[in-house]
Amino acid sequence: MGSILNILVLIFALIGFSRNADCDTLEQNNLIVNGSFEERKNCPSENIDINQCENWVSPIKFTTPEFICEDCHIDGIPKAETPFGSCYIRLIIRMAKNYSAQEYIQGELIEPLKKDSSYLFSFWCMKEDLSKFYLDRWSVLFSSNSNRNYQIDIKKVNTVLSSNRAIKIAIVDYKNKTSWFKVECSFKAFGGEDIITLGVFRNHMNGDFRKDKNYIVNRENIGTVGHYYIDNLRLIRQRR
């Protein structure tokens, strides 16, 4: 009887170990500096300058992604309650047919990515109610700090970035996503990347963005703008 009991204890112990091993396939340390956008230099006010957000900049000087904090007073800017804290980013993902004001954000990683290691990247986003366009894809690029725009081609005519190394992330069932939803992808690193750039790259613009048929112009000069909110960026190294 004792030997049978010992065998059962051993079996349950092995099952528990296996489950723990499966759950431990990811290193839970987020490799993106201030991926929640909660750390800031000053409270963003009228110009809602992204440079007030620690670690984050616009890789294009002519565009101004909006850094919004719910505990800061900002007039005239639509807000979206985020479940992840107080602050988030508002990006233009489509402005007119020539994409004349496409916006991106760029920030540093805690450490360079390891060659041939697998990583899981994720973030949350939401379409703004006043946006005329749905977004059915995102682009993310991990590059080297030796040149912040490494492998990026900036067109002179407009502000659209392009890179053969950018990862395209498709959004499934995008029209039914009327609240915050998660976007994620897995990838293998080239090695040495320590910069992240997020937006929609030219080489992923196969066809135009999807129009919202229920869209009604109810604000001056809204035109053909597409806005999305983003928050809670995470990058996790997968152990296997």
Tens of pLDDT, residue by residue over 113-161, are 999 999 999 999 998 877 777 888 899 999 987 555 444 545 444 567 8
**Measuring CA to CA, which residue among 111, 191, 197 is closest to residue 161?**
197
pTM metric for this prediction: 0.80
pLDDT at 61: 73
* Tens digits of residue pLDDT in 83-108: 899 999 999 887 655 555 688 999 99
Domain 28-238 CATH class label = mainly beta
pLDDT of the residue at 28: 78
Please name the helix (run of DSSP H) or strand (run of DSSP E) that holds residue 3, with its range, or none. helix 2-23
**Residue appearing with tokens 């135009």:** 208
Residue positions counted in the chain: 240
172 vs 47, residue with greater confidence: 172
Alpha-carbon gap, residue 95 to 91, rounded angstroms: 11
Q: How far apart are CA 7 and CA 160, in angstroms?
A: 63
Q: Label residue 200 by pLDDT band (50, 70, 90).
A: confident
Q: Supply the DSSP string of 198-240, one letter for each residue.
A: EE--GGG--SPPEE-TT----STT-TTEEEEEEEEEEEEEE--
Percent of the chain with pLDDT over 90: 36
